[in-house]
Structure 1
Amino acid sequence: MIKLMIVDDEPLERLALRKIINRELFHIEVLEDAKNGTEAFEKAKLHRPDIILMDIRMPEISGIDAQKKIIKFLPNVKTIIITAYSDFSYAHEAIKFGVVDYLLKPARPEDVKNAIEKAISLMNKTHTDFPEHHEHSGEHTLAEAIRYIEKNYQKELRLTDVADFVHLNPQYLSRLFKKGLGTTFTDYLTKLRIEKAKRLLLETNMPIYRIAVELGFSDAAYFSKVFLKSEGKSPFEFKKVASLSV
């Protein structure tokens, strides 16, 4: 799974970005936030994110200075600058230090999603070991496959179905998933369904068997088994614990 770190000195901004990512991009693991450039450097060294969403003007050291330090030990990290300041001299300097996109606050959810998908495509291009003539088409394939899965996860969905949609053979797509996301197609689909299940358990009163059917599981027992393996507790226990903590 792709690891992403949010760096911003404004708590509400960090929360808003986290919500956008959790809602739109289920293949992203959002790491512990950093609230300034010094924390960004320390936490990047500890957690080694693949993508960073970074504010520019922060206490202690700026986002640009943090990025200069981070790329010394994470040369392939894809950093997206998000800032309230439209001074594009910052953008010019940022590009020299491996920043892949530059968004102005308040960034629209669609723009955040597109910037992250661009970063993923660049990661795929950087890490792919496929022949050169496949590289260009491979840049967007993973993002297209993910969008298709997110629209059709409630159906009986197989790797061959997704491969047909993006016009690739299943073996190639399987390798693309492993390289780009660090997971298999099956594990990605399961994780997506579990995240959707958690939301339904928290936000609705739907019975567990209905949630299982809604999310494309063959039956409630299988759904409960998969949920337990993923979350360490059954759907019923998860809902009970959540209700007690409210």
Structure 2
Amino acid sequence: MIKLMIVEDEPLERLALRKMIHRLSYDMEVVEDARDGEEAIDKVKLLRPHILLMDIRMPEKNGLEAQEEIIRAFPNTKTIILTAYSDFNYAREAIQYGVVDYLLKPVPPQVLKTALDKAISSLHQDEIRDSRSTAIKPPELEENLIDAALNYIHHHIKTDITLADVAGHVHLNPQYFSRLFKSRTGATFTEYVSVQKISRAKDMLLATNMPIYRIAIDLGFSDAAYFSRVFFKYEQLTPLQFKKKAEGQGN
């Protein structure tokens, strides 16, 4: 099922968009909202929505700044920009960052429907293109490509490595590479990279006295809070709890 995320700092705007989408009767899941650009980036990594409805003017990080980061990591995400400002420069930047449509508030239901139809059509076109790509890769070549991808990941684990980076390194379409990676490793790209980063973080916690925020930065996380959430997801302990527990067992 197609997943959609609303990125908007105004609660009433978020509620109005949810109601409008519900009335349009799409077969899609509207996942948890994001209230600003920074939160959008974190939640896209966790929830992997296919479509974003994103405001431009938000605190912390605006919609176009967030889109620039999101499209690097998830190039097949379809973003529809919402704004109260009919500014040509914003529209030009939006096109540069690969948005599907640029809508002025207040958005009439039919205009939103046209934009959503365009995003869904683009998603389907991606699927058709990628299914054609799948048919021409023999198993031996696929295995070699995944080996090259894993080697690249291990050498760049301390950077903010993205699926698009690795797919580009092995010259594959990102969406096809994502499916191939999971079929060959048993994990999604994000899961695999997260596990490798957490493994490296555990070594750093045990072997050094580096503060948590410094380890987070060194491993390419956006901030210490996000690093701690990912660490807890895989270890059921915060980084500090893990370090204290290890030190207690060593005594």
How many Å apart are 1:117 and its aligned residue? Answer: 0.6
Secondary structure of the structure 1 residue equivalent to 2:113: helix
Secondary structure of the structure 1 residue equivalent to 2:100: strand
Cα deviation code 1:205-236 (max 9, x no counterpart) = xxxxxxxxxxxxxxxxxxxxxxxxxxxxxxxx
Asked if structure 2 preserves the Cα contact closer than 8 Å seen for 1:20 and 1:109, the reply is yes
User: Which structure 2 residues correspond to residues 17-32 of structure 1 after superposition, within 5 A?
Assistant: 17-32=17-32
User: Which structure 2 residues correspond to residues 80-229 of structure 1 after superposition, within 5 A?
Assistant: 80-129=80-129
Whole-angstrom CA distance in 2 between matches of 1:91 and 1:28:
27
How many Å apart are 1:111 and its aligned residue? Answer: 0.8
Q: Which residue of 2 aligns with 1:58?
A: 58
How many Å apart are 1:102 and its aligned residue? Answer: 0.4
How many Å apart are 1:73 and its aligned residue? Answer: 1.4
Cα deviation code 1:64-123 (max 9, x no counterpart) = 000011112111000000111110210111111110100000000111111001100111
How many Å apart are 1:37 and its aligned residue? Answer: 0.4
Partner amino acid, structure 1, of 2:64:
I
Q: Which residue of 2 aligns with 1:4?
A: 4
Asked if structure 2 preserves the Cα contact closer than 8 Å seen for 1:21 and 1:28, the reply is no
Secondary structure of the structure 2 residue equivalent to 1:42: helix
Secondary structure of the structure 1 residue equivalent to 2:73: coil
* Aligned-CA RMSD value: 1.5
Whole-angstrom CA distance in 2 between matches of 1:88 and 1:119:
22
How many Å apart are 1:25 and its aligned residue? Answer: 3.0
How many Å apart are 1:126 and its aligned residue? Answer: 1.6
Partner amino acid, structure 1, of 2:19:
K
Asked if structure 2 preserves the Cα contact closer than 8 Å seen for 1:25 and 1:113, the reply is no
Q: Which residue of 2 aligns with 1:73?
A: 73
Whole-angstrom CA distance in 1 between matches of 2:88 and 2:27:
31
Q: How many residues are treated as equivalent by the alignment?
A: 132
Q: Which residue of 2 aligns with 1:212?
A: none
Partner amino acid, structure 1, of 2:100:
V
Whole-angstrom CA distance in 1 between matches of 2:127 and 2:87:
32
Partner amino acid, structure 1, of 2:120:
I
- Deviation beyond 3 Å, 4+ runs, structure 1: none
Whole-angstrom CA distance in 1 between matches of 2:17 and 2:103:
12
Q: Which residue of 1 aligns with 2:236?
A: none
Asked if structure 2 preserves the Cα contact closer than 8 Å seen for 1:3 and 1:51, the reply is yes
Secondary structure of the structure 2 residue equivalent to 1:72: helix
Partner amino acid, structure 1, of 2:37:
G
How many Å apart are 1:52 and its aligned residue? Answer: 0.1
Whole-angstrom CA distance in 1 between matches of 2:87 and 2:27:
32
Whole-angstrom CA distance in 2 between matches of 1:20 and 1:71:
26
Cα deviation code 1:161-209 (max 9, x no counterpart) = xxxxxxxxxxxxxxxxxxxxxxxxxxxxxxxxxxxxxxxxxxxxxxxxx
Whole-angstrom CA distance in 2 between matches of 1:71 and 1:106:
26
Q: Which residue of 2 aligns with 1:164?
A: none
Whole-angstrom CA distance in 1 between matches of 2:83 and 2:73:
24
